[in-house]
Amino acid sequence: MYSVSKLADFSPAALDSAARELKSALEDEAAAVSGEGEWKALRDRWMARKNGILTQLNDQWLKAAPAPAKRDVGQRVNELKKLVEEHIDSASARISTSGTASRLEQERVDVTLPGTRRKIGIEHPLVRTMNEIIAVFKAMGYSVAEGPEVETDYYNFESLNFPPNHPARDTQDTLIISGQQGKPLRERLLLRTHTSPVQIRTMEKQPPPVRVVVPGRVHRADTADATHSPIFHQVEGLAVDSNITFCDLKGTLDQAAKAMFGSSVRTRFYPSFFPFTEPSADMQISCFKCGGSGRLDGAKCGMCKASGWIEILGSGMVDPNVYGFVGYDAKKYSGFAFGMGVERIAILKYGIDDIQLFYQGDVRFLEQFA
């Protein structure tokens, strides 16, 4: 271990010899440093203010030198100080680079391995049900269309053949945006009560053939209870082309019902009324729980209320009056439309008895769909 020796001879030759001995010891000690702890010990040993080797050079060489030799000794001490600092810095840079390389080696990632997939949770049961319905119709060649939830009276009612005195236009049934009294009726804003306005917007944008499904959220002035909600979701569909008949409507919806509820499900239609379709029909499916018998395990089936049938949607042939609003030739084109409530389909599929469970965000309920 190097230590500063006292000089009796301050001649240039003696100083050169002492300096070579110090440089050799410095190089050896700096080269042996392999970690931060060893580097700190080296720095303190050579540069500490109280008893470091540089301090000892001042005391035992410079202060002890006779007056004629002080200038030469001072220059050599300064050169040695600079050399010590350079070696200390060099050792620090070397172990820092080595440590970084070591850490990089430890943290090295094989980029050819598959990535870690982030867990993003699950689809809400309503979203899942809506996507399943959309997938059924996309497989039959339908595209997806969307539109605004805040609509004008024109798109929500007038263009869909609702007369001015229709009950659905009353504020008791429709959520009207405030401050609209000064506008013409057709320009007044409201929260859409169905996704049918998107059908009108789609027909305005493109000529037949048209085949779209329209998913989305709708709003009505209903009191929230186990079977009603002021906000719910629909999926509607529209097909317009030449020579479309009611048979096409029945075949399409029968195929969709079998895709959603099983191939053994049967369908039936019975007359109904909607302002924008004529003729109109509600569609029922045979109960997929009791097989349409109305009884389950010797008791009345609660799913279909012992009737063997469950209503799931409304449908009909597009009323020719509607074509007048979008510039279609009613003599050349025909089409059908249908609409179903997503909540109702989800309730049937999952056996849920309270629609409010979909909106309350209770994790205990949602975890059942993981």
Task: Check which CATH number belongs to the domain holding 359 and give it.
Answer: 3.30.930.10
Do residues 101 and 144 both lie within one domain? no
User: Could you tell me if 146 and 214 are in contact, meaning their C-beta atoms sit under 8 angstroms apart?
Assistant: yes
Q: For residues 87-113, give the mean pLDDT.
A: 74
292 and 234 within one domain = yes
Do 202 and 187 touch, CB atoms closer than 8 A? Answer: no
Cβ contact 356:224 at 8 Å:
yes
Q: What percent of the chain is predicted at pLDDT more than 70? A: 97
Find the helix packing angle between 12-31 and 70-106, rounded to 10°.
10
CA 313 vs. chain centroid, Å, equals 31
Residue 165 lies in a domain: no
Contacts of 56 (CB under 8 A, 6+ apart): 3, 4
Do 140 and 270 lie in one domain? The reply is yes
Is there a single domain that holds both residue 82 and residue 198? no
Q: Are residues 136 and 44 in the same domain?
A: no
Do 84 and 200 belong to one domain? no
**Residues recorded for the chain:** 370
Residue-number span of the structural domain to which 345 is assigned: 125-148+191-369
99 lies in the same domain as 221: no
Q: Does residue 339 lie within any of the structural domains?
A: yes
Tell me the one-letter amino acid at 43.
Answer: R
Among residues 77, 106, 135, which one ends one of the domains? 106
Q: Is the pLDDT of residue 180 over 70?
A: yes
Judge whether 179 lies within some domain. no
Q: Is the pLDDT of residue 120 over 80?
A: no
pLDDT digits over 79-96, tens only? 888 888 888 888 888 877
What is d(CA 343, CA 356) in angstroms, rounded to the nearest whole number?
10
- Both 257 and 354 in one domain: the answer is yes
Average pLDDT over residues 181-191: 90
Residue 142 banded pLDDT, cuts 50, 70, 90? very high
pLDDT range class, residue 105, cuts 50, 70, 90: low
3-class secondary structure, 323: helix
C-beta separation of 107 from 164 below 8 A: no
Residue 166 and residue 233 in contact, taking contact as beta carbons nearer than 8 Å: no
- Judge whether 186 lies within some domain: no
What single-letter amino acid sits at 78? N
Q: What is the pLDDT of residue 172?
A: 64
Residue 184 falls inside a structural domain: no
Task: State the pLDDT at residue 355.
Answer: 93
Residue 332 lies in a domain: yes
Q: Return the higher-pLDDT residue of 211 and 1.
A: 211
Rounded to whole angstroms, what are the CA distances from 244 to 145, 172, 211, 331, 333?
Answer: 21, 37, 12, 12, 8
Q: For residues 339 and 282, what is the distance between their CA atoms, to the nearest angstrom?
A: 10
Whether residues 139 and 94 fall in one domain: no
**In the prediction, which pLDDT does 72 show?**
86
CA distance 329 to 244: 14
Within-domain flag for 348: yes
296, pLDDT greater than 70: yes
Q: Which residues contact 189 (CB under 8 A, 6 or more apart)?
A: 150, 151, 152, 153, 176, 177, 180
Task: Indicate whether 238 and 339 sit together in one domain.
Answer: yes
Instruction: Tell me: do 131 and 93 sit in the same domain.
Output: no
CB 186 within 8 A of CB 201: no
- Reduce the secondary structure of 158-177 to three states and give it as a string: HHHCCCCCCHHHCCCCCCEC
The pLDDT tens digits for 221-253 are 888 888 889 999 999 999 999 999 999 999 999
- Do the domain assignments include residue 132? yes
Beta-strand runs (E) in 43-131: none
Q: Number of folded domains in the chain?
A: 2
- State yes or no: pLDDT of 50 exceeds 60: yes
Confidence of residue 155 (pLDDT cuts 50, 70, 90): very high
Examine the pLDDT at 290 and tell me if it is beyond 90: no
Confidence band, pLDDT 50/70/90 cuts, at residue 67: confident
Query: What average pLDDT does the structure give for the chain?
Result: 89
DSSP states along 242-306: TT--HHHHHHHHHHHHHHHH-TT--EEEEEEEETTEEEEEEEEEE-TTTTTSSEETTEE-TTTTT
Same domain for 276 and 336?
A: yes
